Structures are given as structure tokens and as C-alpha cells.
Structure 1
């Protein structure tokens, strides 16, 4: 089985216990994650072969991160060690009317300092069929942006499918260029892009738009314009989130594929345990569905169910089984104990 490869940053997550605020915390719970790795962990859980490519410091924290990657059975054959440090992010979990808060401490991380000869992408892709990246990585540094573009160009040349989760982070892009100066070239050779239309227009340097997802018939003109800018694009899914509060969310999805617009049912989650990683779970659902040649409505329903179910788990990584996800798709929302 050929592998799904992803490139990105692995980070340490530090969270106050429960729903304590940063100001109240005397200790932090530690876990390790990263947008691209989170997606691979789901795919590996569902029986697909995966490889994560990153750069980690050659110290105890870097070694612990590699241990966590192995824990989820994701391949680490092409991970490079070196650089200064591991990126960190702090998460304060929201509740009810109080939103969650994230503080990043990732400047000069190992992957931000990746060197041009660190990764042999031809070797990485020699037994791969798919390459996944996210909009986070090019925003970290000029070096990470260069490497992401390089990887995509080689993946395209070698015939791999390429997917992207836009994952726009306004706190990134401090290295001198804006997204619309970097991303159009990479998005232009990508086959699957997960993101909302307004953000994608912004990343492509286009005019500001306000799409109304409640009126799908008005969206085609926007999709057509994106396809003109991204000639290799085949699938454009979007997560639709309706936030009643930090503890009460509704999740749906919409996808443009083969000139058709597909919509899903909306799943309600109350209470939310942990919202982090739910978009990564959605992305994993899209990649899995395309790998298994599911029909388009089933791909979207599977992705929505996966994302919804991830809201019930602590941590960034979705550990739901296929059986659990298909039960949610079939409407099994009972609270009965499984014995």
C-alpha cells in the first residue's frame, strides 16, 4: 500500500486542567500534535499507510514528539532532527459564553529553520500516492514556505495527488510576505482544498466576498472563479460551523466536485469536550473517502460525522474507529452504554 505523506510542524500543547483559565493555572497538561499529523493519525487509525515529514530538535522534547508519532503508528522514516526548539502552544479551554484561547510560542522552532537539503522529497515520495500540507506551514517562515512549495512541485511531477487544509492563522505570516504572495502558486497545483470561500479568495489575492452558504445556488460563480485560478483543483469541501456557545456547536459541510454542489446534514454537539483538531478530523474524512472511492455525499457525511465525533474527545487527535463514525452517520446518537 502506498503512503499518504504530510509535511508540517509537530508541537507541544500545554493546557490548564479542566476549564481553568491561564491566570488560575499552577500546572499544565501536556500533549503533542500538529494539524497535518492529526490528519495522518486518523487515516492510520482507519487502516491507511501514512508518513509524517517534519524537523524536530535533537533533545528530549523532540524525542518525545517522535515517540508520540510512533504511538499512533504514523511513519516517521523521514523526520529530521536539528534546529533550536520545539514549537509550543498554550490552550485555555472555553466553556459556555467564554471562548477558548490559544497562545503560540513557536518562533525559531526547528521546522521554521528547515534547510534546503534536509529532506530528500524524491525519496520521500518514492512509495507514496498522496501529499498533504496545510496553510499553517508556509506561514511559519520563509524556509518552511520554500520547502512546502518544493514538496508540492516534486509531488506533482511524480504524479501524487495533493491536498491542502487552508487553516489560516492570522498570528502567523510575520516573516515578510503575506499569504496572497505565497499561496497562489502552491494552491495552483493542489487537487483538494479544504477551506471556506471567503478565506480562499483572500489567500488567492482576490476581492473580498461574503458567500451565503444558506443559498447554495448563489455560490457557483465563486467556485468557478477559484477553478480558474487553481486548474488542478478537483474537490473543494468546506466545514460549516454554527456556534451557539463554546460548549454548544453544530457542524455541517458542503463540497463542490465535478461541477456539483453537495451538502450534508448538520450534527449537533452538546456539550463540546474539546474543539481543537476537529477541522483536521474533517480533512482526514475527505482524504479517506477519496481513497476508498466513496460517492461524494458519503464522503461529505463521513467527514462531518468524524469532525462532530472529535468534539467529544480531549486532545487534538481523533481516535474514533470506522465503526463509531458509521454509527454516527446512521443516526446512532444514543447515550446507552456499549457493553
Structure 2
């Protein structure tokens, strides 16, 4: 049985209800989530064991986050309790032609104070098969980037499969480092990478381009170039998003492995209830598919895309659909008929 370990920050999310703007709000809906935890929660929901590693302070708000982790059945025993605060982000959910807005309040959060040696990675990984991290964690602080490298090096030495969602958050890289100074060394250990070509090139220090994602030949050439820079990368995947408005997306997916490009069909997503966490849903679906049906990569990318599409209908960071619901979605071409 596969066991996955994810590492990152869980945040308190505060959103004005009913698509209100910040200056209209007299209250906020509070939930908890974060990229790497969202992946772990989805995997447990699909029947794969997952542990989440983070640092949280000893206070009642952090206990709320811990309770969320427990409620999703994600392992929490190796979470370190130190520091003074949990990270917070405010989300103004866009609608129609008004875009969503995020304000971060995570400076000096507990995980940004993490240091090498704080986590016993050999203990954490002793019965694990897979380690997952994202590009958000090394953006938090110099020491968080060092610990992320410490974790990936240990996971690699212990023979774990390593996956990365190469998220780029421009508002977080504030401690004097450019991603290209850190990400190439971190990515060198990764076997599965989720990233669009633009972001991957930027974070690896290459000239940014805007490829035509409908052109299979061009996309294969770009993925192959990335794989030559990252020889341990066996699989590269990405979501394909067309934003019609904040309430209307077209969502597809790509997967590249062994010189073959697999493409999932695009789905109309209209209306969008909550876009946040949809990339994490894709990542979890990708990981699940690679574990459960590795010989059917077309099904893998279709499953991952289906999880991403369905997440847009769910409030909060975390995808709550079951694997049966995802399979039904892709088998019925997303008909969304009433289940009677």
C-alpha cells in the first residue's frame, strides 16, 4: 500500500461571504487549507494513506488547523509545534468579470522560521513511498528553502518517488532570492512535475515564452527540453486553462512521458464556485492515477483533469469528491445528470 508524505504550510483562509468585496464584508468565512495539505486530503479521500508535515504554534487557532487535518484523516503525528503564528490569507472571490484577489498575512509564520534539523526526515520517511512538495514552500524564507532541499535529498537517498507542483507566487518571494537560484537544485530530485511551460522556464532561469498549448509538436519539444535539464523527471503534466471570466473556465490537461504526449479533453466549467485548490486537486488526481493505473496514462491525465474540473464546484481549498465521482464524471463525459 502506497504512503505519501507532503510538506508545506497550512493556512487560515478568510473570505467575505457570497462573493462580497473586502470593503463590503462585516464577517468572513473561515476555512483551513494549503497546497500540500490539500493534496494529502484528496489522496486520503481516494483511499491512499498520507501524512502532512508542517510547523504550527501552540495556540487555539493552530488547534483548529490540526482539527481540520484530523477530520480529513491525514496523518499529523509528525507536525512540529513551535513558533508564534499560523499563516493567514484573505480571499475575495471574483465573479463574472471581477477577478479574485488574495492578500497574504504570513510573514514570520511558524513554518517560515523552520531550520535544518527541526524535522527528522529519516523518521518521517521510514515507511513512506512518495514525497510531495511545492514551489510555495521555498518561497517562504531562506531556511524553509533549505529544509525543503534537506527533505528532497533525504527522500531521494531513501528511494522515495518525489513529486512537485511548481507553483509560483510572486507575492511570496520577498527575501532576496529569485526562484532560478533555488528551484533547479530542488527540482533535480523530482520524478513527477506539475507545471505549465511558462512557469517552469521562468523558475529554471530560462527565457519565458508563451507557447501554443494546442500545438502538440511544439509542446512535446518544450517538455523534452525541460526533461533534458531535469534528468530525474519521468513525468511532466499541466492543467490547460482558458479563462473566459471569473465565473467561466475551460479546463483541460496534458501529460508527457516517454516521448509521448497525452491530452485530456477540455471541459466547460460554468459557473465557477471556487477556483482555489483546483491545481492541488489536479496534482492529487495525477498522483493517484500514477499509483493506481500507471499503464494507462490517458486515463491518468483524464482522471487528474476531472478532479480539477469538479473542484471548481466546491467551496474551500479542499476537493471533496470521491474517486467514484471522478470516474463517473470522465466516463459520462461530464453530463452531471441527477444521481437518483
Is the TM-score greater than 0.5? yes
C-alpha change, 1:256 and 1:334, in structure 2 (3 Å) is: closer
Any idea what SS the aligned residue of 2:255 has?
strand
Any idea what SS the aligned residue of 2:18 has?
coil
- Contact 2:241-2:251 within 8 A present in 1 as well: yes
Please name the residue that 1:101 is paired with.
Answer: 101
Alignment of 1:1-339 (within 5 A): 1-294=1-294, 295-331=296-332, 333-339=334-340
Any idea what SS the aligned residue of 1:227 has?
helix
In structure 2, what is the Cα distance between the partners aligned to 1:200 and 1:334? 34
- Contact 2:329-2:336 within 8 A present in 1 as well: no
Any idea what SS the aligned residue of 1:233 has?
coil
Deviating above 6 A after TM superposition, structure 1's stretches of 4 or more consecutive aligned residues are: none
How far is 1:202 from its partner?
0.9
- Contact 1:8-1:137 within 8 A present in 2 as well: yes
In structure 2, what is the Cα distance between the partners aligned to 1:233 and 1:332? 31
TM-score, reference length from structure 1:
0.98
In structure 2, what is the Cα distance between the partners aligned to 1:117 and 1:207? 36
TM-score, reference length from structure 2:
0.98
How far is 1:117 from its partner?
2.3
In structure 1, what is the Cα distance between the partners aligned to 2:280 and 2:245? 21
In structure 2, what is the Cα distance between the partners aligned to 1:118 and 1:152? 15
Superposed CA offset, 1:117-150 (max 9, x none): 2200000000000000000000000111001000
In structure 2, what is the Cα distance between the partners aligned to 1:2 and 1:228? 29
How far is 1:263 from its partner?
0.8
C-alpha change, 1:305 and 1:335, in structure 2 (3 Å) is: closer
Any idea what SS the aligned residue of 1:18 has?
helix
Unaligned 5+ runs, structure 2: none
Superposed CA offset, 1:90-128 (max 9, x none): 001111010111110000000000122220000000000
In structure 1, what is the Cα distance between the partners aligned to 2:217 and 2:332? 28
How far is 1:2 from its partner?
4.1
Any idea what SS the aligned residue of 1:265 has?
strand
Using the TM superposition, name which of 220-229 and 17-26 deviates more.
Answer: 220-229
Superposed CA offset, 1:295-328 (max 9, x none): 1100000001000000001111001011111111
In structure 1, what is the Cα distance between the partners aligned to 2:283 and 2:197? 16
- Contact 1:192-1:235 within 8 A present in 2 as well: yes
How far is 1:210 from its partner?
2.1
C-alpha change, 1:336 and 1:238, in structure 2 (3 Å) is: closer
How far is 1:49 from its partner?
0.4
In structure 2, what is the Cα distance between the partners aligned to 1:335 and 1:33? 27
How far is 1:218 from its partner?
1.5
In structure 2, what is the Cα distance between the partners aligned to 1:257 and 1:114? 35
- Contact 1:2-1:127 within 8 A present in 2 as well: no
Unaligned 5+ runs, structure 1: none
**Backbone CA RMSD of aligned residues:** 1.0
